[in-house]
Structures are given as structure tokens and as C-alpha cells.
Amino acid sequence: MRRLSAKQRRILKATFAELEADGVKYILRVFVLLFSEHPGYKQIWPQFRQIPDSALINAIELKRKRQNPFVVYIM
């Protein structure tokens, strides 16, 4: 953090506060955008491979991960 300017630190802190408040919503958006722009990336996560792109946002696999989305998706 020392290499960041004061403005950059404020932006990071505000961003993480926003993510902490509703992280699941943002993680879902990130994955939907990621898979829509790079469909091949779905192959990285086995639980998403068989889900059609049009059904991804409502997929039960995503809803099951809502308790701790950050840990599950990094693996």
C-alpha cells in the first residue's frame, strides 16, 4: 500500500467496502461478464461446464456458493 497514492488508497478502500457490503452480487456479475466475453473460461470451473450461457445467472451452482463466493471461485 505504500506505493499507492493517497487517492489510490481511498479508491481501494471504498471499492472493498462496497464489495464487502454485497460481494455475492458483484461476484455473480464478474462471472457473467467473464463468461460472456470469454466463454472458454467456463471450462476452468467444472461445476459450470454443462450450464448453458443463457442459464448461468440463475444456475443453482452459483446460488449454492453465496455464503462465501470468494473462497470457492478462486480454487
* Alpha carbon distance 51, 40 (integer Å): 13
Q: Where are the domains of the chain?
A: 22-74
Q: How far is C-alpha 53 from the geometric centre of its chain's CA atoms? A: 16
* Alpha carbon distance 60, 75 (integer Å): 18
List the pLDDT tens digit at each of the 75 positions of the chain.
Answer: 579 999 999 999 998 888 888 877 787 788 888 888 888 888 888 888 888 877 877 775 666 655 554 444 443
Instruction: Reduce the secondary structure of 3-21 to three states and give it as a string.
Output: CCCHHHHHHHHHHHHHHHH
- Residue keyed to cell 448453458: 52
